[in-house]
Structure 1
Amino acid sequence: MKPLWRLNKYLYKYKGLLLLGILFTVISNIFVIIPAQLVRLAIDYVVESAVIFKPLDLGGLGDIASENFLKFVLVFGVLILVMALLRGFFLFLIRQTIIIMSRRIEYDMKNEIFKKYQNLSLSFYRKNSTGDLMARITEDVSRVRMYLGPAIMYGLNLLILFPLVISYMIMVNPELTLYSLLPLPVLSISIYFVNNLINERSEKIQRSLSNLSTFTQEAFSGIRVLKAFVRENDSVRDFSDASEEYKVKSIRLTRVNALFFPLIMALVGISTIITVYIGGLQVINGDIGYGVIAEFILYVNMLTWPVTSLGWVTSIVQRAAASQTRINEFLDEENNIISTEDAKDEIHGTIEMKDLSFVYPDSGVKALDQVSFSIQSGQTLGIIGTTGSGKSTIANLLMRMYDPAKGQILIDGKPIESFDISHLRKNIGYVPQDVFLFSDTIGNNIAFGLDHTEKDIIEQAAKDADVYKNIVDFPKGFETMLGERGITLSGGQKQRVSIARAIAKEPKILILDDCLSAVDTKTENVILNALKKIMKNRTSVIISHRVSSAKLADQIIVLDDGKIIERGNHQSLMEQKGVYAELYEKQTQAGESVDSDL
């Protein structure tokens, strides 16, 4: 239960609903016990009335006596019906309090977890899969809700009803109470084991269904590849195998489920037989009346579900504790990317890196080694290098997605750690290499970094990114809805929309992380020329494996295996006839070769 203690703050928050639920549970159980007593009185009354009816009938008073007897029986029937209706009404109120409480706590928990996700560092997401993150905010929270709702509701019902019923039964007949309740502990233990089997097999089915869903999603997402390689039949066969596994596990679960109600009915039947047998012997001996047997049979049936639910509730609590443990693991995660001063000074854009070294904490890969450079406000820095040379790592460090192991980053002469993180990132326009667009309109995607959507700013950003003409050619223009991850657009269009999104917020620092890789040389030149006037007033960092993207920069550094091997401007680097010059010549020749082939 220890992992579930963290939920006490929610129970305290909604203590009003919980206390009302407890009150309604007590009242509803009172209306359960009273009908059983009324049945006993009614049966005893009928039996006694039958004894005196014959003498009255012989004396000519049979019709009057019969009418009076029926009136009293009708009164008992109406009272029992009223009790049942009142119990039903208070059961409704129990669900309107405790179950609603659990739904509100579920809402609060999901919001708390999602907010925690948003505030964790990028390294957290590198360590944990998306599926696991989704499972904890959906599956695990749902299991915890079962503890907060049904488990508490049925647990309270058991704790309240059991003492009430047992005390009434002992008051009426202690010996008959002992015999009639003998099978109930066996019932509870049996249900506990059956529930464990059901839960175990349910989890296997859940994993099998998850695998089936993942397989189906990949098949649909990669349908072009499947068709291109003519693997449709293989895909159908693999799906059939996965479906067969799911079917077998589902049938195994159905077989266990089939034990549930027969087991309950068998043990309740045994309890009823014992009650009738022992009660019958006591009736013969004159110790009790006929009505007591009927009353005890009703009590046994009243206790059947609470005792049955004991095993079920125990199982729910176990699963909820396991799920809450998983949730607590994420809630206890600490974000080490914090601001030391929460400074919100105006950012002008001067950047300086001093002897920067960085090792990715999750993989141990050394990405940067003693890197130093500086850029004045309004200048442009080009970073050239092959894949894995550490180019994107510099972008991540400037965005404070990570903090360096050694060295220092200064923004306008102040340590980057001193700035408020949100303030820093609002002043940086970032265009990632792996473009991500949301399933929203093109206009809203471009305006994603803006506090207020302004049509003029969006359109100008689209023009600067050379994507305006493409957008207005769509039937709905800027209101065109994009598919998942922007699948509606081509690769080049997605990258240009991403550039427009970055420059729409008018950042002080603009970082282009190899964002022109999906466009041809001609389009690249058009975008760069359009960006020239934008980059004049802000510090820009152009990261690329193409020399053509960075040749207009005021300063260029060439990275190799995390180290700076060359630095200068385009002219000076060409004169050095080193790695940069060699790379430029190769890419220029390759471009000319492609043009001649076309």
Structure 2
Amino acid sequence: MKSLSYLNKYFIKYRWRLLLGLLFIVAGNYFGAKIPVFVGKSLNFLSGKTELSAGQTLFWTVLGLAGLVMLFNIIKGFFLFLTRQTLIIMSRYIEFDLKNEIFEKYQQLDYAFYKKQSTGDLMNRISEDVSQVRQYLGPGIMYTANLIALFPFCLYEMLKINTELALYALAPLPIMATLIYLVSNRMNKLSKDVQQEQSRLSTLGQETFSGIRVIKAYIQEKHARQNFETSSQSYLKKTMRLVRTNALFMPTISLLIGTSTLLSIYMGGLLTYGGTIDTGDIVSTILLIYNLTWPFASIGWVTSINQRAAASQERINEFLRTEPAIKNQTETPLEPFRELRFENMSFRYGPDSPNVLSDINFTLKRGETLGVIGKTGAGKSTLLQMIVRQLDPSAGKVLYNSKNLSAINLTEYRKQLSIVPQDVFLFSDTIHNNIAFGALNFDTVTREEIVNAAKNAHVLHNIEAFPDQFETVLGERGVNLSGGQKQRVSIARALIRKPDILLLDDCLSAVDTETEEIILRNLQQLNRENQTTSVIVSHRISSLRNADYILVLEDGKIVEEGKPADLLLTNGHYRELYDKQLFEEPKVFED
């Protein structure tokens, strides 16, 4: 249960709701414990075991006791209502806070973390795991506190009736406590197994839904169904182990409570025969035992809840303890961008991994356009991630105006950037909101800015062709747009920020050469007007026609660099790529 101690800060935050809820539980159980006593007294009056005082009549005495029973039941129910209004609502508030804390952590963690995690597992932690924890925060605490509060009241009333009878009635309870202790460790292990398997099942489901078009295209529905069924069977098997273990609690506790009731009747009968107690006292004792039946029977259920919550909170804690490798080290205001310089920069993903980039040296000045070209796997996209500081160098430096990139205000630095990634991502929202997402202030973006960004990305005519135009709602990841349209909407999203540094990661691969020419011409015009610095990554020579300087990457190293015209004269890698693509697409190079 140590993992659940993380939640103590929330108990402190909502301490008044917690304290009031516990107070209402105590008050409700006080009245609940008195009800069996009044019932027993009524029976004693009716059976003549208790004599009436002077002026009392049997009818009005019993009616008064019945009235007290009804009144105390109403008061008990009222306090139960207040308990739920405090403790259960508190659990919902904490659930809300915990989900927001986890989501905030998701946004803090760096690119390297997400390369190691599956989407299904991350979703499971913020949904199913938090739901399991909420059960502990609400019902778990409420029913545990209910037992702790009720037991002393019932014990007091039972001892007041007859100590010997109370001891016999309570004899099975230590056995119950021992059984709970023995089973709880097993339930904890099984709960962890169930949660891990559920994460795997969620991941498989998410991947299936995301790749449904590929599955249908290759007619692999049967294979996908078999994979899901195999994972479901594993989840079912592990869940049933937990259910079987949990199922032992209820019958065992009910048996022990029943044993306690039989002992009460038997010993009560002997004591009544000896004249020590009256019949109504036996009934009161049995009713007090029945009062304890559900609270004690709920121990198994509450233990299961708490063990599941502990397993879930441990998974949440593992995630919350993870520190991002990339952090903002300072809040110092950032000076205007002048240049970005790489000095002997190398990068690899781990100490035993080979270098993805090696000995990278270049300087990018404000207003320049840098082209980066190379074969697949040459390290082009990784180079852009180093510029954005999604990754830190394994060796060497990346300098912003002669300051190490890791030492400047990261938040302010990224405000100067816009990036169009190779893998375009669009939200399930309107086209308007997808473009406005790139602005520094989403809420103040004007319609004119949206239209201009779409026009410069040469996608305005496509958007206006839709019936709802900019209010067209996109499917998941922009599924109702073509590949080229998605790329151009993503470019519009980058342009609306009017960045100092624009990064384009092979983002024109899905457009035709005519459209590419229009977009590049628009970008060149914007660069001149705003003094924008651009880095264009591509495997197509045509995309780099307006570059001031070009880097040719191969196996993570710069094998050639220089101005485009100079590189054509060297008869090296760049000239080889140029000649191949000239032969394949002669129209691209006509101008």
Same fold (TM over 0.5): yes
Determine whether 1:559 maps to 2:553: yes
Report matched runs for 1:43-192 at 5 Å. Answer: 43-48=43-48, 68-190=57-179
- Which residue identity does 2:142 align to in structure 1? M
419-428 vs 469-478, which moves further: 419-428
Q: CA–CA distance in 2 between the matches of 1:243 and 1:113?
A: 27
Residue equivalent to 2:20: 20
243-252 vs 360-369, which moves further: 243-252
Residue equivalent to 1:573: 567
Q: Secondary structure at the match of 1:35?
A: helix
Residue equivalent to 1:469: 461
Match of 2:313 among 312, 319, 324: 324
Match of 1:528 among 491, 510, 520: 520
Q: CA–CA distance in 1 between the matches of 2:13 and 2:227?
A: 50
Give 1:300 shift: 0.7
Residue equivalent to 1:539: 533
Determine whether 1:495 maps to 2:476: no
Give 1:385 shift: 1.1
Asked which structure has the greater CA Rg, the reply is 1
- Which residue identity does 2:484 align to in structure 1? G
Q: CA–CA distance in 1 between the matches of 2:559 and 2:141?
A: 66
Q: Give the conservation status (yes or no) of the 8 Å contact 1:49–1:69.
A: no
Residue equivalent to 1:272: 261
Q: CA–CA distance in 1 between the matches of 2:571 and 2:412?
A: 42
Q: What are the Cα deviations for residues 21-72 of structure 1, in whole angstroms up to 9, with x where unaligned?
A: 12111110111111111011111111117999xxxxxxxxxxx99xx42332
Cα distance, 1:394–1:226 mapped onto 2, change above 3 Å = closer
Match of 2:271 among 282, 287, 295: 282
Q: Secondary structure at the match of 1:389?
A: coil
Q: CA–CA distance in 2 between the matches of 1:279 and 1:346?
A: 88
Q: CA–CA distance in 2 between the matches of 1:552 and 1:529?
A: 9
- Which residue identity does 1:502 align to in structure 2? A
Residue equivalent to 2:543: 549
Q: CA–CA distance in 2 between the matches of 1:365 and 1:135?
A: 33
Match of 1:351 among 312, 326, 340: 340
Q: Percent identity?
A: 49
Q: Secondary structure at the match of 1:481?
A: coil
Q: CA–CA distance in 2 between the matches of 1:545 and 1:239?
A: 38
528-537 vs 539-548, which moves further: 528-537
Residue equivalent to 1:389: 378
Q: Give the conservation status (yes or no) of the 8 Å contact 1:511–1:541.
A: yes
Cα distance, 1:258–1:342 mapped onto 2, change above 3 Å = closer
Q: CA–CA distance in 2 between the matches of 1:18 and 1:424?
A: 44
Q: CA–CA distance in 2 between the matches of 1:345 and 1:422?
A: 10
- Which residue identity does 2:13 align to in structure 1? K
Determine whether 1:36 maps to 2:36: yes
Q: Secondary structure at the match of 1:381?
A: strand
Q: CA–CA distance in 2 between the matches of 1:78 and 1:197?
A: 48
Give 1:2 shift: 3.0
Residue equivalent to 2:476: 484
Determine whether 1:456 maps to 2:448: yes
Q: CA–CA distance in 1 between the matches of 2:201 and 2:339?
A: 52
Residue equivalent to 1:60: none
Q: Give the conservation status (yes or no) of the 8 Å contact 1:184–1:304.
A: no
Q: Give the conservation status (yes or no) of the 8 Å contact 2:124–2:202.
A: no
Q: Give the conservation status (yes or no) of the 8 Å contact 1:192–1:310.
A: no
Q: CA–CA distance in 1 between the matches of 2:260 and 2:460?
A: 80
Q: CA–CA distance in 1 between the matches of 2:262 and 2:552?
A: 90
Determine whether 1:442 maps to 2:436: no
Q: Give the conservation status (yes or no) of the 8 Å contact 2:124–2:199.
A: no
Q: Secondary structure at the match of 1:39?
A: helix
Q: What are the Cα deviations for residues 201-260 of structure 1, in whole angstroms up to 9, with x where unaligned?
A: 777676666666655555554444444434445555666666666777777777667655
- Which residue identity does 2:403 align to in structure 1? K
Q: CA–CA distance in 2 between the matches of 1:209 and 1:321?
A: 16
505-514 vs 43-52, which moves further: 43-52
Cα distance, 1:309–1:69 mapped onto 2, change above 3 Å = same
Q: CA–CA distance in 1 between the matches of 2:313 and 2:195?
A: 18
Q: What are the Cα deviations for residues 519-572 of structure 1, in whole angstroms up to 9, with x where unaligned?
A: 222322221122110122211101111111113200001111121111111111
Q: Give the conservation status (yes or no) of the 8 Å contact 2:453–2:496.
A: yes
Report matched runs for 1:300-311 at 5 Å. Answer: 300-311=289-300
Cα distance, 1:211–1:332 mapped onto 2, change above 3 Å = closer
Give 1:484 shift: 0.5
Cα distance, 1:224–1:17 mapped onto 2, change above 3 Å = closer
Q: Secondary structure at the match of 1:29?
A: helix
Cα distance, 1:316–1:209 mapped onto 2, change above 3 Å = closer
- Normalised by the size of structure 1, how large is the TM-score? 0.90
Cα distance, 1:105–1:541 mapped onto 2, change above 3 Å = same
- Which residue identity does 1:282 align to in structure 2? L
Q: CA–CA distance in 2 between the matches of 1:593 and 1:539?
A: 28
Cα distance, 1:187–1:237 mapped onto 2, change above 3 Å = same
Cα distance, 1:50–1:289 mapped onto 2, change above 3 Å = closer
Residue equivalent to 1:55: none
Q: CA–CA distance in 1 between the matches of 2:236 and 2:149?
A: 41
Q: Give the conservation status (yes or no) of the 8 Å contact 1:384–1:556.
A: yes
Structure 1: 5+ residue stretches without partners:
53-63
- Which residue identity does 2:11 align to in structure 1? L
Cα distance, 1:209–1:530 mapped onto 2, change above 3 Å = same
Match of 1:432 among 410, 421, 445: 421
Q: Secondary structure at the match of 1:6?
A: helix
381-390 vs 307-316, which moves further: 307-316
- Which residue identity does 1:515 align to in structure 2? C
TM-align CA RMSD: 2.9
225-234 vs 350-359, which moves further: 225-234
Q: CA–CA distance in 2 between the matches of 1:42 and 1:561?
A: 93
Q: Secondary structure at the match of 1:449?
A: coil
- Which residue identity does 2:584 align to in structure 1? A
Q: Secondary structure at the match of 2:569?
A: helix
**How many correspondences in the alignment?**
582
